[in-house]
Amino acid sequence: MLWAGDDEYFYTWKPHADEAFAFMDLTAAAEFTLSMAQTALEKDLLQETPWLRDFDAVYDQIKADHDGRDADLCTLITLALQNGGLISQNKRKSYADRVPGRVFDAIDALCTARLAAKGSGAAAPPHPDQAALGV
């Protein structure tokens, strides 16, 4: 390959160089890709949907009632949903300079209520990598 400038390239193929691509059997790779896409659609995304609904509901209510950095609120809501509805004391301490105590309490209350309504103490499904590893 030779670059001529801007978007101009010149290609010179060696004899028979294209045979590796012309006769390559990618059936196994295509089957694997299809199975991963099916798993994502049939299992992982279906498990994620209720968690995303909970997150969105809590986030919308918190944003309507309180001011705060989106990044902080998203992190804290995620942590609460993954921790049975509560934000740990360590996280409260580390965010205390940016997030008022009433916001922590509101996130805890909303997340706990959402999880209790579903009859579950754990919200987020395990990440596929964690489930595969048994973590």
Is 1 contained in some domain? no
Is 115 contained in some domain? yes
More confident residue, 127 or 79: 79
Is 38 contained in some domain? no
**Structural domain count, the chain:** 1
Range of the domain at 83: 53-123
What is the per-residue pLDDT across 61-75, written as a single tens digit (0 to 9) for each?
A: 999 999 989 999 999
- The sign of the dihedral angle between the CA atoms of 64, 67, 70, 76 is negative
87-118: buried (b, 16+ CB within 10 Å) or exposed (e) per residue?
beeebbeebeeebeeebbebbbebbbebbeee
pTM above 0.75, yes or no: no
Is 77 contained in some domain? yes
Is 96 contained in some domain? yes
Is 106 contained in some domain? yes
With contact defined as beta carbons under 8 Å apart, do 87 and 77 qualify? no
pLDDT number for residue 129: 43
Is 87 contained in some domain? yes
pLDDT, mean of residues 35-56: 90
Q: How many whole angstroms separate alpha carbon 69 and alpha carbon 66? A: 10
Is 133 contained in some domain? no
